[in-house]
Amino acid sequence: MSREPVPQPPSGGDMADVWAVLARWRAEGRRFVLLTVVESRGFTPQKPGGRMLLGERGETAGTIGGGAIEHDCLREARELLAHRVPEAGGRGSGTRTVRRQLTTELGMCCGGEMVVHLEVLEAQPRLVVFGAGHVARPLAALAAGSGFAVTVVDARSEWLSEERFPGATRVLRDPEAWAREWRGGPADYAVVTTHDHGLDQRVVQALLPRELRFTGLIGSIAKQRKFAMRLLARGFSEQAVARLRSPVGLAIGARTPEEIAVSIVAELVSVRRGGTPERGWLPPVRARREPGAHAAASAAPSASREPATPGAPTQES
- In this prediction, residue 282 has a pLDDT band, given cuts at 50, 70 and 90, of low
Nearest Cα to 69, choosing from 95, 94, 35?
Answer: 35
Q: Is the pLDDT of residue 308 over 70?
A: no
- Dihedral sign for Cα atoms in the order 56, 59, 64, 67: positive
Beta strands in the chain (DSSP E): 10-13, 32-41, 51-55, 60-62, 95-101, 113-121, 126-130, 149-154, 169-172, 189-192, 214-217, 244-245
In the chain, what percentage of residues exceed pLDDT 90?
A: 53
Give the model's pLDDT for residue 16.
66
Domain extents for the chain? Answer: 10-121, 126-304
Q: Using CA atoms, how far apart are residues 247 and 231, in angstroms rounded to an integer?
A: 16
- In this prediction, residue 203 has a pLDDT band, given cuts at 50, 70 and 90, of very high
Give the model's pLDDT for residue 123.
83
Mean predicted confidence (pLDDT) in 104-110 = 75
Mean predicted confidence (pLDDT) in 160-183 = 96
More confident residue, 288 or 173: 173
For 208-251, the pLDDT digits (tens) are: 998 899 999 998 888 888 998 999 999 998 888 988 999 999 99
Summary mean pLDDT of the chain: 82
For 22-54, the pLDDT digits (tens) are: 989 987 878 899 999 999 888 888 899 999 999
Mean predicted confidence (pLDDT) in 263-288 = 74
For 113-133, the pLDDT digits (tens) are: 889 999 999 888 999 999 999
Give the model's pLDDT for residue 273.
86
More confident residue, 299 or 23: 23
Neighbours of 311 (CB within 10 A): 6
Q: Is the pLDDT of residue 92 over 50?
A: no
- CATH 3.40.50.720 for domain 126-304: yes
